[in-house]
Amino acid sequence: MGNRAVLKYFCEVAKCGSMRKAAQYLFVAPSAINRQIRNLEDELSVELFERLPGGLKLTPAGERLLMHVRRTLDDFHAMRSEFDALRGVRTEHISLAGGGHLCRV
């Protein structure tokens, strides 16, 4: 599993507040998302989500990571557009956001 997928899982769980809902959206098993989030928490030695009866809520560390991931992904997409321009490829991106967070991966 690549780091990019883990970040996609993390962003979607943060947006949905539920691993089950994130799994439905991403078409993967909830257990796979749970395992990847737990591995990420173990790697960072910090809890990213509070596990509450009504769902998941980002911890302060999770909120900080989400901000960092969004900035990093925005920078990555900007760099990709620059590379496309260098190759003479014209690209346009449209981002739509609903009531949740926007996190392109």
pLDDT, one tens digit per residue, over 23-73 is 999 999 999 999 999 999 999 999 999 999 999 999 999 999 999 998 988
Task: Using the predicted structure, report yes or no on whether residue 105 has a pLDDT greater than 90.
Answer: no
CATH number listed for the domain at residues 3-86: 1.10.10.10
Tokens, residue 15: 């947006």
Q: Identify the helix (H) or strand (E) that includes residue 84.
A: helix 60-86
Question: Model pTM?
Answer: 0.74
pLDDT, one tens digit per residue, over 5-24 is 899 899 999 999 999 999 99
Q: What is the pLDDT of residue 103?
A: 57
Angle at 92 between CA 97 and CA 87, to 5 degrees: 140
- Domain locations in the chain? 3-86
